[in-house]
Amino acid sequence: MSESRNITHDGFLAGAVRVRQPGEGYRAGMDAVLLAASIEARHGLTLAEAGCGAGVALLCAAARMPEAQLTGFERDLQLVAMVEASASDNGFGGRVRARAHDIAERPRDMENAFDQAFCNPPFFEPGAIRAPAPGKTGSFMADAPLKDWVLFLCHVVRPGGRITMIHRAAALADLLEALNSRTGEIEVMPVRPAAGAAAKRVLVRARKGLRRGDVRLYEGLTLHSVAGGALTERASAALSGGPLDWA
């Protein structure tokens, strides 16, 4: 891979996973790791990530699920190459791959192709952070409607398969609106920065095509016992490679 961008090599899951990321622009972090920790792990799964970026969530999920096959879809060709290189660096090359694709397109050959699908949709507005280099797509920009992300996940996952997302808590109403007519067994886990604080993120999962029912709201995850303090035991376990239980 020609590393024409400024590239960093960052550690995740207490250093168990190393990921190449662009040194400028959006850089994945805690959201991606929490997303990977919250995915249901079962033997022999095939999983897809929409808009995988540099592959942080994809590779952390691969570390959690050593027998899963994972495919990341990303429209930025340099990021696709980074994911492939990072997969090889971590010894995941045989079961993790990246595919150049825009989630606005839903071709027939991808329909019902995966057991589960997940994503961390971009939500930065243009101008909110430093722009990418000229000619780059800037996949961190929220230039696709949230509904398009839900439609892509529902397209690629099999009937009854689970989709999992992480997003801003302020977008929860839009997420539920997009999910309600297409999925069932919707579950919501708020993520709070500290005890007593308002949630800044939500983890949401649902199952494709099931009958619409009540939305299940969990107590949620608290990252720090006090603002600026140490991680809670539960958050630390998830960020170190353990599963994030929903109950």
Helices (H), the chain: 30-38, 56-64, 77-89, 146-156, 172-180, 233-239
pLDDT at 141: 46
Domains in the chain, ordered, with CATH?
Answer: 7-239 (3.40.50.150)
Rounded Cα gap, residues 41 and 200, in angstroms: 25
Q: Which of 38, 50, 36 is nearest to 150 (CA)?
A: 50
Rounded Cα gap, residues 36 and 81, in angstroms: 21
CA 71 centroid distance within chain: 12
pTM: 0.90
- Per residue of the chain (247 residues), give pLDDT as tens: 444 558 999 999 999 999 999 988 778 899 999 999 999 988 889 999 999 999 999 999 999 999 999 999 999 999 999 999 999 999 998 999 999 999 999 999 999 999 999 999 987 555 544 544 443 434 444 577 999 999 999 999 999 999 999 999 999 999 999 999 999 999 999 999 999 999 999 999 999 998 878 899 999 999 999 998 999 999 999 999 999 999 7
CA 85 centroid distance within chain: 19
CA 220 centroid distance within chain: 18
Task: Give the other-Cβ count within 10 Å of 23's Cβ.
Answer: 9
